Every structure is written in C-alpha cells, then in structure tokens.
C-alpha cells in the first residue's frame, strides 16, 4: 500500500518534523469512494521471554541482531490488504544493540519496527503510559527510528511545533488524520519546558478538550476522516469503565471525530456504535508476554469508510478478526484464530479455539453484533 504524507514545502528529503503544515484537502476530485482501515492492539515487548529468544535466534541467522518478522507472518496479508494499517507502539525503542529493559520501564528492540513495516503497517500511535520510560532521549530516539523506517507516528513529539502539526495521510486520495493521547505517564514527569512532548489528558473525569482541539485542527488542515487513538483507562478488565464510556461518547459526539481506537486494557474489550460511528474500547495485546490467557488475545479491527452524497465519509462496515499470540507449541506468531480453530494440522487447535471464543464472547457485550459488527477470519 502507498501512503503519502501531505505537507507544504519542497526541501530535499526533510524529516517529518522539519516539514511545513499539511496541505488542505483540495476537494473530492480523485478521492476513493471507500477505503479500508485496519487497527491492532498493543505492541509490548517483554524481555527474557519466548518472543525475544526467537527473535534473537532469527536475527543471528539474518545478521540483524533481532528479527520479529516471523511473529507477523500469518497476519501480514490481512494487514497489507488494508488501505491504511494502524499499530500502537506502547514502549520506547532502545539503540540497536541495547541495553534493553522490560517491565516496569521499557526500552525495547528497535527491530520490532522492521517487522511492523514489513507486515504492512503505515502509522503508529505512540502516546501511552510508557512513552517516557526512557526519558526524552528515548522518546526522540524512538521517533528517529520510526522516521528512518518510514513508519508514521503521532502522540509524542520532538518539538512544540511538531505537537501542533496534524498527522495527515493521503490514502487513495482521501485525507485521513490520526490523533493519539494517553491518560498518564506512570508518574513520570514531562521534561521541564517540554510539556508538549506527549499528549496527556486527565481521565478523571475525562477532559477531552485537547483531543477535540487536535481533531478540529486536523479538519481545518483538510482531513476528511479523523481517527482518535486513546490509551486509557483500567487494565485487565473486559468491560469499559465509566471514563471510557464518557470518552467514547464525548469524542464520537463531535463532528470532527469519525473513529475511536482504545488501548491499555491488555485484554480485548467490546465494540460499540455511537452516533453512527464506531469505537473499539480495547484492542488487546497484539504482542506481549503477560502470562495470562486473555492477555494473549487480540484482534484486527477493520473498518470500511464510504463517501456519502454529502461528501462525508462514514463507516459502512465494521469487522473483527480475532487473533492470539501463540507462545508455545510451535513458532511464536500471531494466529488468526478464526482460521486456526479449524486447522486440524496444528497441536494448538484447541488453544486457538479457546482464544477465538474468549474474544467473540467479549466483542458483543455492548450490542455490537446487533449494531452491525461482523466477526470474520478473512
């Protein structure tokens, strides 16, 4: 898939942070009638586990230090098939040869970005409670690595000017903006004089003014679709809490926000349709090793947005593809469990089926199937 960033200015090969303001959308001429967007769960690399050991072994063979490509091999075709694929990079990236750290303050293998890019991801949200685990230096290093790999990003910033510049993507002629905010930073203070370094909002009760300002700014810059990635609120619970419900209603009650993607729970949470627009409250862990069954469950959320007679894009199809991070019984990989549960050749078939059922049981807790959600494997 080809994604173009829209910026003014024509200096040779500038970094995104050095480019000008996004070009306002010139209208609907040439814009696709519909586009598909895929979003996925938290990318959270724990040290000392199966994933890192496998990546180290594969990296030795390729001479890359670490190689996470096999983790994404099964789902990559689904990711690449979307017009826009969105990941959530929850942690800072370390230098190529480390040192690497895991919970509670992460600084992880940067080769995970190679795997994300190879799988087909176009942009990542980076605002999370771990964004400053490695300080401002870790934040800027992370953005430098993402830029070098041409994986777009928003939610954390090198400069104040960057923080005010919408991420605006050209997706088959449709101008799509992404905003990314987190409820907190695990008590780590923002760098002095750099309060803009990470987008943080108060979740109790939710103060959405910053998010709505960002969404309105993106619209003024020409965005025809605005996606909000929100990292909040309570971990390890399948049901969204009051703050999450308020966030979804507040954002989807605005004409400036079209879709809300939820992160942080580390387990799957439901879909819901609000004001004709969709929220997935929690996408689960795409990549993590937290030692509990539900924390290994996730999904690819896929949305089709179609242009109406008024020129606005609305979601005409919402789909969920359940996945599971397989950590034993074969190579560590993200499994499409809708397919894996019927695979008689794998010894993990029963585990695939159990994960699939856990995810399906959660997704409809707020009536999503009645509201139009489809659960699929393709």
pLDDT tens digits, 131-145: 999 999 999 999 999
For the ranges 22-26, 47-51, 183-187, 361-365, which has the lowest average pLDDT? Answer: 22-26
Q: Is residue 9 part of a domain?
A: no
Q: How confident is the model at residue 3 (pLDDT cuts 50, 70, 90)?
A: low
Domain count for the chain: 1
Instruction: Give domain status of residue 367, yes or no.
Output: yes
Residue 18 lies in a domain: no
User: Any idea what DSSP says for residue 101?
Assistant: B
Residue with structure tokens 């939610």? 155
Answer yes or no: is pLDDT of 21 > 70.
no
- What is the pTM assigned to this prediction? 0.92
Domain presence at residue 164: yes
For range 262-273, the mean pLDDT? 99
- Reply yes or no on whether the pLDDT at 8 is more than 50: no
Q: Please report whether residue 68 resides in a domain.
A: no
- 356 within a domain of the structure (yes/no): no
Q: What is the mean pLDDT of residues 55-73?
A: 97
Checking if the pLDDT of 2 tops 60, the result is no
CATH value at residue 155: 3.60.21.10
- Residue 27 is predicted with a pLDDT of 54
State the average pLDDT over residues 147-165.
99
Q: Where in the sequence is the domain holding 48, given as residue range(s)?
A: 24-53+76-323+361-375
Distances (CA, A) of 225 to 81, 132, 175: 19, 29, 7
Q: Supply the DSSP string of 73-98, one letter for each residue.
A: TTTHHHHHHSSEEEEEE-SPBPPTT-
244 within 8 A of 201, measured Cβ to Cβ: no
Q: Confirm whether 355 is domain-assigned.
A: no
272-302 pLDDT, tens digit each: 999 999 999 999 999 999 988 999 999 999 9
339 is a domain residue: no
Do 5 and 168 contact (CB within 8 A), yes or no?
Answer: yes
């Amino acid at each position: 898939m080809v994604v173009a960033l829209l910026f003014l200015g024509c200096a040779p090969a500038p970094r995104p942070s050095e480019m000008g303001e996004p070009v306002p959308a010139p209208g609907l001429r040439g814009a696709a009638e519909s586009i598909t967007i895929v979003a996925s769960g938290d990318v959270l690399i724990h040290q000392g586990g199966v994933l890192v050991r496998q990546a180290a072994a594969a990296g030795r063979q390729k001479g890359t230090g670490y190689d996470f490509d096999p983790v994404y091999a099964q789902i990559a075709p689904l990711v690449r098939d979307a017009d826009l694929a969105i990941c959530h990079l929850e942690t800072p990236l370390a230098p190529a040869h480390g040192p690497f750290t895991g919970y509670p303050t992460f600084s992880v293998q940067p080769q995970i970005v190679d795997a994300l890019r190879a799988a087909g991801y176009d942009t990542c949200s980076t605002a999370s409670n771990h964004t400053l685990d490695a300080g401002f230096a870790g934040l800027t290093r992370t953005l430098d690595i993402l830029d070098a790999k041409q994986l777009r990003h928003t939610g954390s910033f090198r400069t104040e000017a960057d923080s005010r510049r919408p991420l605006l993507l050209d997706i088959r002629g449709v101008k799509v903006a992404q905003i990314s905010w987190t409820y907190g930073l695990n008590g780590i203070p923002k760098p002095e004089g750099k309060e803009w370094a990470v987008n943080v909002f108060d979740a109790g009760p939710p103060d959405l003014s910053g998010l709505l300002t960002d969404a309105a700014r993106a619209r003024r810059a020409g965005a025809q679709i605005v996606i909000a990635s929100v990292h909040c609120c309570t971990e390890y619970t399948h049901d969204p809490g009051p703050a999450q419900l308020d966030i979804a209603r507040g954002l989807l009650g605005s004409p400036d926000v079209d879709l809300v993607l939820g992160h942080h729970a580390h387990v799957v949470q439901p879909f819901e349709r609000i004001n004709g627009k969709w929220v997935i409250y929690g996408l689960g862990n795409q990549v993590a090793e937290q030692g509990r069954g539900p924390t290994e469950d996730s999904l690819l959320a896929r949305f089709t947005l179609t242009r109406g007679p008024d020129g606005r894009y609305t979601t005409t199809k919402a789909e969920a593809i359940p996945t599971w991070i397989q950590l034993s019984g074969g190579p560590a990989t993200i499994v499409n469990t809708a397919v894996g549960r019927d695979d008689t050749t794998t010894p993990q078939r029963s585990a695939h089926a159990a994960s699939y059922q856990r995810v399906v049981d959660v997704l409809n807790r707020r009536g999503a199937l009645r509201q139009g959600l489809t659960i699929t494997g393709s």
